Amino acid sequence: MLSIDDLVVTIDDTRIVGPVSLHADAATWTGIIGPNGAGKTTLLRAIAGLLEHDGAVSVAGLEVDGLDRRSRAKRVAYVPQSPARPAGMRLESYVAAGRTPHRGYLAVPGTEDAAVVRSVLAELDLRGLAEREVSTLSGGEMQRTAIARALAQEPDVLLLDEPTASLDLGHTQDVLSLLDRLRSTRATTVVSALHDLTVAARFADNLVLLDGGLIVAEGSAESVLRPETIRRHYGARVHVLRDPAGSMAIVPDTEEPPAAKP
């Protein structure tokens, strides 16, 4: 579904990301992980068409870099870590703006648009906030609202930059479980930057570890989230554990390493 070939982002004559090549099938979840400054956000913004880049980005065999903004928005939606909050805009109107690519110019929202908006508001527990102005929302409420707007676009590919950064534990579980369910029922390809390695192991089918703008490891959680790999690229000592259900958990090693012998 999503193919990225030799993508390179250069800013002020400095290569920030790349070359990066990866492929993600429909209805799969790819987690982009890596230390701070690894290039996760830059990579997502380039895929979304928000940064100039070399290389090719294709969705279902169609190269999207040559598409106009509306056509691209039908195929790729992007949720930043800190979404903009337009002054005076109600939450429901903000989410409804995600339907714009599906309407003709100057066309008013139709019954299908209204049905999609109602559905995503319900799925993300936002119906009670529909009349609130987005400028008054908490960080977690705004994050769910931005995800709802992206889902209203009904994209083939959903890009999320740290989607749970502002959410409490309950809403983190709700939102991640919802995304996990929707990528299957809608055959949506999900690509998200994730800082929590335990969350990444739980939800992502495939992990891509970035460091210095390059892919340094890729594959299943079992193959990527090895203590030696995490120490090499994060500079952190961890234990990789299994909970009773068999899911992986990445926990810090709080014991001091033994002192070197004289």
Residue 261 has pLDDT above 60, yes or no: no
Residue 152 has pLDDT above 70, yes or no: yes
Task: Look at domain 2-220 and name its CATH class.
Answer: alpha beta
Residue 262 has pLDDT above 70, yes or no: no
Residue 259 has pLDDT above 60, yes or no: no
DSSP labels, 41-71 = HHHHHHHTTSS--EEEEEETTEEGGGS-HHH
Nearest-angstrom CA–CA distance, 120 and 7: 32
Residue 194 has pLDDT above 80, yes or no: yes
Partners of 5 in the β-ladder: 56
Predicted confidence at residue 220, as pLDDT, reads 94
Confidence of residue 9 (pLDDT cuts 50, 70, 90): very high
Q: Where are the domains of the chain?
A: 2-220
Strands 76-79 and 248-252: unpaired
Residue 105 has pLDDT above 60, yes or no: no
Residue 110 has pLDDT above 80, yes or no: no
pLDDT tens digits for range 15-48: 999 899 999 999 999 999 999 999 999 999 999 9
pLDDT tens digits for range 56-83: 999 988 888 888 888 898 899 999 988 8
Crossing angle of helices 169-185/139-152, nearest 10°?
Answer: 10
